[in-house]
Structure formats: structure tokens, C-alpha cells
Amino acid sequence: MKKILIYTLPLLLLFSCIGKKEGGSEATETAEANIIKITSEQFKTSGMQLGELSLQTFIDEIACRGFLIAPTDGIARISTPIAGTVEKVLVKTGDFVNQGQVVCNVSGTEFLDLQQQFAAASANYQKAKIDYERAKVLRAENIGAEKDFTALESTYKISLASYNALKVRIQALRINPSQIENGQMYTSFPVASPISGFITKIGAVIGQYVDMQNELAEVVNVNRLQLQLSVFETNLQKLKVGQKVRFNVCGRWEQSIDATLISVGKTINPDTRAIDCIAQIGDVDRSKLVNQSYAEAKIMVDNLETKALPANAVQQEEKEYFVFVLDKQEGDKYFLKKTKVEVGKINDSYIEILSGLPEGKQVVVNGVEML
């Protein structure tokens, strides 16, 4: 039994030593696998440069979506003041029209009846006016009965009110009342645009019977377009009037447009749990903007100064981020260590480094793609 113990113990010690050597070898190989060795010539020809963490300003942004919309004074849906039949359509979708420009002409018996009523009211008014003026002169001389003067005065005022009411209706049709008073009737009346803008919709068809409920055309003033954004309620406390907004519209994703937040809503949509905000669009060629276009935007709500590296210095592998740290330099050789880091905010130029890179360490900031 003693002999067995004597021989077994040296064997156990031998295997233990071998195990330790193998474990140390694996650790060395792992460490060396993360080290890249390049010469100074390779470093130079690859355009590599070293740099350190630096303080950079990151903008805290709220990503949201919305649409370009026309405010109430930037859109007009045109209808006819009185019923009739569309006689002519003078514009097409996409045309630019000035305020007051005729969109279509409408005719009909209701229009003719209105002119006839106005002509009769004008004649009655003129007669009542003459009778009233004569009676007023006589009454000043105490000639005639008081009740007769009062009756003439009442008739005059009633005829004046009827005349003025019909005259306003005639003028609303953009025709000359004097011509009708002289017995010359119009066969049709023009329907004009109340604002300047582009025709976005045509509802009028020649020969169609239309009334005030029919939309003949829609006009949008693109110079008045605004950006309506839908922002989730979780970001509500970050919003302030005056904050900068940057957005892109569907079909022109490559071009960013600046805007300024001018209104923050006070009601949360119960279905989407979002609030509507309005942003005023900045300087841009508005002729290329389209009402109701879909937009994706970012609202700049805060600035944060933090330590970061140039975006070129950081490599992403799936969900992890790495940088190449200068481990040491011996002669004409650089020893670069691939190091995992935790990142925070990211913009087009810089990436915030939260942890994994000690301050003062030099990293490759240019030419990383060559490693």
C-alpha cells in the first residue's frame, strides 16, 4: 500500500503541471488573437491616424412622424353661392391660380330669377325713394298728413333693405349690378378662387347641376404649408415652442428640411396616445412641397456634451461595438488591441463612448476599415 502511494503522487503532480501549462497557453493565445501587429509603413500607406476621446455635443432628439398640411387660411374648397349648371371649367389640376381668378362658369334659372328680383327691387326702391323725398319736403312745410308720410317712409326703408340685400347677393356673384338695373341680364356667373395657390382637386364637370354642397375645386397655397407632427405622450414634457425640427418628406428622403416648433397640442389622442404639434417650415423651394405628404422628423429637444470618438473609429459587429487601441509601439511596429466598448448616442460624425475605453488611450480613428 505504501508503494502505491509513493508512485501515484508524482503522477498526480505531473498531470497538474501539464494542466496549468495548457491553461496558460490558451490565455496567451486569446490575448494574442486580439492583438494586431502592423508596421509603420503599413500604418502610413493605409492612411491610419491615432486619436483620443474628446468632448462632443450631441443633440437629444425625438423621432416622430407627420404630414404636411395647409392651415385654415392656406386651403380653399370652392363651391357655388347659388345652384345652377356648370357651363365652363377653366382650370385643371396642378394649375396655379391667383386670388380672384375664375375657375368655372355656372348658369341656371335660379341665377336668372335672382337678377329679375334685383331689377324689380331696384325699380321699387327708386320709386319709393322719389316718393319719400317728395313727402319729406312737403312734411317740412306741414303739408300732408303725418300717417301718409310715415307710410311712405316705411315703404322706402323696406324697399331699400330689399334692394341692398339683393345687391349684396349679386355682387357676391362677381357681376355688375348696374348692368342688371339697366335691364341687361347675364346668362352665367363666374366662380372664382378666394386665395392664390395650386389647384389640387377638380370636382366640376361641364353640364353638372351643382349647389352649395358641391365642391367644384380645391386650392392649396403651398407657401402656407406647415408640418403637423404626432409625438408620443412619453415625450410631452420635453417639448417647447421654438425648438428646431429637421424632417424629410416621402419621395425626397435625401433632402432634409428645417422647421421650428410653433405649437404643442393640449389633447392626447386616446387611440394612438400621441399629441399633435405644428412646426413652421423654414426656407425651402415650396413649389415642390405637396399637401398631405408623409414626413419623418426629429425634434431637437436638448444638447448634451459628452466624451466621444469619430464615427469612423468604431466598428460594429452585429450588436457589439469595437475600437482598436494602441497597446504599445516597439520600433517601427504598432500593436493594436481590438477592444469592446459600450456606446451611447450616435450622430453622423461622432459616437458617444460610455465605457470600455480608459481616458488617455490612443485609438485608430482613420483607416479602421483596413484592419
| 33-58+305-370 fold | 2.40.420
pLDDT on residue 252: 82
Query: Shortest CA distance to 46 belongs to which of 336, 293, 356?
Result: 336
Architecture per CATH, domain 109-185, reads as: Orthogonal Bundle (1.10)
Tell me what pLDDT residue 77 has. Answer: 97
Give the pLDDT score at 32.
59
pLDDT confidence of residue 23? 43
Low-confidence ranges of the chain (pLDDT < 70): 1-33, 139, 144
Say which CATH class 80-106+188-221 falls into: mainly beta
CATH fold for domain 61-72+222-303: Elongation Factor Tu (Ef-tu); domain 3 (2.40.30)
Q: Domain residue spans in the chain? A: 33-58+305-370, 61-72+222-303, 80-106+188-221, 109-185
- Give me the pLDDT at residue 200, please: 96
What's the pLDDT at 21?
Answer: 40
pLDDT of residue 17: 38
pLDDT digits (tens, 9 = 90+) for 155-184: 999 999 999 999 999 999 999 999 999 999
CA distance 278 to 20: 69
Q: What pTM was computed for the model?
A: 0.69
